[in-house]
Amino acid sequence: MRHILSALTVIILLTPAGLAQDRRPLSPDDIFAFKTVSDPQVSPDGAWIAYTVSQMDQKKDASDTDIYMAPVGGGETVRVTTTDKAETSPRWSPDNRYLAFLSSRDGGKTQVWLLDRRGGEAAVLTDLKAGVSSFEWSPDSTRLALVAPDPDPEAEEREKNKDAAPKPIVVTRLQFKRDGTGFLNDLRSHVYVFDVAQKTSRQLSHGPYDDSSAVWSPDGNSIAFVSNRSEEPDANSNTDIFIASADGSSEPRRVTSSEAAEASPVFTRDGTAIVHTVGGDPKDIWYATNTIAVTPIGGAASRVLTAGLDRNVSALHLSADGAAVMFLLEDHGNTHLARLPLGGGAVERVVAGERDIAQFDVGARGEIAVLESTFERPNEISLAGSGGALTRVTRTNDQFLAGIRLGKAERFQAKSADGTLIEAFLTRPPQSAHGTKLPTLLRIHGGPVSQYSTGFNQEWQMLAAAGYAVVGANPRGSSGRGRDFSYAIWADWGNKDFEDVMAAVDHVVATGVADPARLGVGGWSYGGILTNYVITKTTRFKGAISGASEVNYPANYGHDHYQRQWEAELGLPWENTEHWIKISPFYSVGKVETPTLILCGQEDWNVPLQNSEQLYQALRRLGVPTQLVIYPGQGHAIRRPSYQKDRYQRYIAWYDTHVKGVVSTTTVQ
C-alpha cells in the first residue's frame, strides 16, 4: 500500500489542477504513448547516466530508439541522438571522453559510432562488412573488443544482382533454423579487437563456433569470451569461457570445462580470476537454476559462490571496490539487486521490495543505477542509496501516466489441488466498485520457465481498462521458486500447472471478485500452450485466446527451433511416440467447447504457425467459434506497432463478445 500511495503522490504533484479527477483508462491507441527506458550506463566521473528510450510511431508504423543522458545530481535530461534509425548500447570510454553506441543510421550495417563529448556530431567508427553485434571499451580507452558476425561472401553478389533468382537454401547444421533469423548457415560470430585511433581491426577467434560476451582484463592484455566449442555445438548448451591475447599472439585458451553452460564472464579486479554464471544440470535444460562461480585463469578449480541459493541469477558486475559481485536475483515474483562477497558469505539484497529490476550498472565511484519497475510504473532509472533507498533519475512516462487511471494490482496466494501454495496477481478495473462481481480473465505467462512479477504489466492494465479483473498466476513450471518448482512439470505439461492456474481462478471466485459465469482465459507462447490444455480440460471459460501456441507436438520435431529440448524432455518421437501424442493437447481437441481466438506470426520459428493452423482447422471442423489471425512478416514477437495495437483490439473484442456477452465497443481496424 505504501508504494501505491507514493505513486499516487507523484501523479498528483505532476498533474495540473482538476486533471486528477479527469484521468481516463488506457486504450489500445495508448501503446504509442508509452516509452521504453533501457540500458542505464553510469559515466566514469559519476555525473551522468546514459540510457536509451524507445517509442513506437503510429504514422510510420515503426519503432525508434534514441540515446539520452540524465544528470545524476538531478536536472533536465539531454537527448543525445535524434535520427529515425535506432541508436542502442551507449557505452562511455573509461577516460570519460567519448560516448560510443551502435547504429545503422547511415543505411548500412550496424556499426560502432563515436560521439566526442567535447563537441561535434557522432561519426561512424567501425566498418566491418557484416556489422557489429556488441562491443566493450578497453581499460585505456584506445581499443574496442567487438563481437561481429562473419561476412557473407554471397551478400555482395546478391546486392549487385537484386533481380536474380535466389539461390537454393542448403542446410547442413543440426540446429538449422532459429526464430528471428530463419535458416541457419555456417557463418558464425567472432571476437575482434579494434584500434580506435588507427581504425583497424584484428580477428581473435575463428572456427565453426559462435563467440559472445567479450570482456577485457583489467590490464588490457587479454579478452575473455563465451563459446561452445564442443564437437557438435548444436547438440548441447555447453558454453565455456575462453581467454585470448588481445594482440593475437596466442590461440584462445579454455578456462572452464564443465558440461554446464558457463556464461557472463567478469574479470576480478586483480585479473587473476573470472566471475561467471554456471548453468544447472544440462539434462534439466531450462528447468535448472544457475549459480555464480569464480574460476582462476591459471587453471585451478572453480569455486561456486551461490551453491545453496536455488534461484536464477544474471547480469554480473563487480562492486566498485572489487570485493563483491553484484547481480540480479529472481525470487517469488520479484527481481532484486543482490551482492555477494567474492570470498564467500551471505547474499545481501541491495535493492529489494515489491519491484522488478531489469538492468543495473555500477559506477567507478560506487554509484548504482537500476532500471526498475513496479505495478504502477513502467521501467525507469533510479539511483540506489544506502539501505536500498531509491532516488528517481528518469520520469519518462510520468507525464503520460498522470492522465491515466490505472487498475489496482495486488498479490494473493491460492492453494492448488495437492495443497501447493501458488503465487498470483490480481489487477482490478480502475472503474470497478467494491463488492461487484467482475468478468475475469486468466492470463498465463510464457516460458514455461519464467514468472509474472511485480513490475508494470501493460497487458494486464489494458485488459483491466476494458472492464476486466485480470488474474496472472505463477504455476509450477515457473521460475522464481527454485529448480524443483520448475521441474515439477517435466514431460507432464498441462497437469500440475493446469491445477495451479485453476486454483488462482477459484480463489478470486471464492472471494467474490470474479463472476464465475463470465470467465476468460488466454496467453502467448507457453501461455497459449497451457490455454490449449485448459480448454480441453474444462468448459468453465466462455472465451479463450491462444497466442503463438503449440498443440500437436510430433508435428514440431524438425519444424520449430527446439529439437534439442524436445529430445531431452520427451525423447525421440519415433522411439517414444506414445508419450509425444499423450502430452499433446491436439488429441483431446474434441472436448473443446470454448470459443477460441488463435493468433500467430507468419514467420514464427519458435512456435511455428503450423500449430495455430492445425488448432484452427480442428476447431473449425468441430463447429467451435474460432478465428485465425496471422501477422505477416512477424516472428514469435509481434514487433510491428500496428499489429501490436491490432492484437490488443482483438483481445478486447473477443472477450467482450464471448465473456461479457456484449457487442464490443472496441473496433478492430
pLDDT at 590 over 60: yes
The pLDDT, as a whole number, for residue 21 is 60
* Contacts with 375 (C-beta within 8 Å, 6 or more apart), sequence order: 3, 4, 354, 409, 410, 454, 455, 456, 457
**Does residue 655 belong to any structural domain of this protein?**
yes
Measured CA to CA, the distance from residue 460 to residue 615 in angstroms comes to: 26
**Mode of pairing for the β-strands spanning 62-71 and 78-79:** antiparallel
The radius of gyration of the chain's CA atoms, rounded to the nearest angstrom, is 25
Beta strands in 489-553 (DSSP E): 514-524, 543-547
Between 17 and 284, the higher pLDDT residue: 284
- C-alpha pair distances (Å), 6 with each of 1, 3, 401: 9, 5, 14
CATH number at residue 537: 3.40.50.1820
The pLDDT, as a whole number, for residue 273 is 97
- C-alpha pair distances (Å), 145 with each of 121, 245, 319: 23, 12, 22
pLDDT at 460 over 90: yes
Measured CA to CA, the distance from residue 2 to residue 406 in angstroms comes to: 16
3-state secondary structure of 257: coil
With cell 510510420, the residue in question is: 60
**pTM of the predicted structure, to 2 decimals:** 0.93
Domain that holds residue 505: 407-660
pLDDT at 440 over 80: yes
pLDDT band for position 394 (50/70/90)? very high
Q: What angle do CA 619, 581, 604 make, to 5 degrees?
A: 60
**Does residue 451 belong to any structural domain of this protein?**
yes
Region 535-562: what's the mean pLDDT?
A: 97
Region 119-146: what's the mean pLDDT?
A: 96
Of 128, 98, 122, 97, give the one whose Cα is nearest residue 110.
128
pLDDT at 1 over 80: no
pLDDT tens for 329-379 read: 999 999 999 999 999 899 999 999 999 999 999 999 999 999 999 999 999
pLDDT at 302 over 70: yes
pLDDT tens for 236-253 read: 999 999 999 999 998 999
Measured CA to CA, the distance from residue 668 to residue 237 in angstroms comes to: 43
**Does residue 122 belong to any structural domain of this protein?**
no
pLDDT, the chain, mean:
94
pLDDT at 26 over 60: yes
Measured CA to CA, the distance from residue 631 to residue 651 in angstroms comes to: 14
**Does residue 28 belong to any structural domain of this protein?**
no
Measured CA to CA, the distance from residue 507 to residue 196 in angstroms comes to: 61
**Does residue 653 belong to any structural domain of this protein?**
yes
Residue 129 · residue 153 · CB < 8 Å = no
pLDDT at 7 over 90: no
Of 477, 495, 494, give the one whose Cα is nearest residue 486.
477
pLDDT at 4 over 60: no
**Does residue 560 belong to any structural domain of this protein?**
yes
Measured CA to CA, the distance from residue 397 to residue 26 in angstroms comes to: 14
Region 490-498: what's the mean pLDDT?
A: 97
**Does residue 133 belong to any structural domain of this protein?**
no
pLDDT tens for 38-85 read: 999 999 999 999 999 999 999 999 999 999 999 998 889 999 999 989
Residue 554 · residue 571 · CB < 8 Å = no
pLDDT band for position 189 (50/70/90)? very high
- C-alpha pair distances (Å), 640 with each of 29, 32, 63, 631, 644: 14, 12, 8, 9, 6
The pLDDT, as a whole number, for residue 326 is 98
The pLDDT, as a whole number, for residue 22 is 83
* Contacts with 597 (C-beta within 8 Å, 6 or more apart), sequence order: 522, 543, 544, 545, 546, 626, 627, 629, 650, 651, 654
Residue 364 · residue 376 · CB < 8 Å = no
**Does residue 169 belong to any structural domain of this protein?**
no
Q: How many domains, in total, are found in the chain?
A: 1
CA 237 to chain centre: 19
Question: Strand pairing partners for 212?
Answer: 226
Measured CA to CA, the distance from residue 418 to residue 416 in angstroms comes to: 6
Q: What angle do CA 282, 283, 288 make, to 5 degrees?
A: 65
The pLDDT, as a whole number, for residue 244 is 97
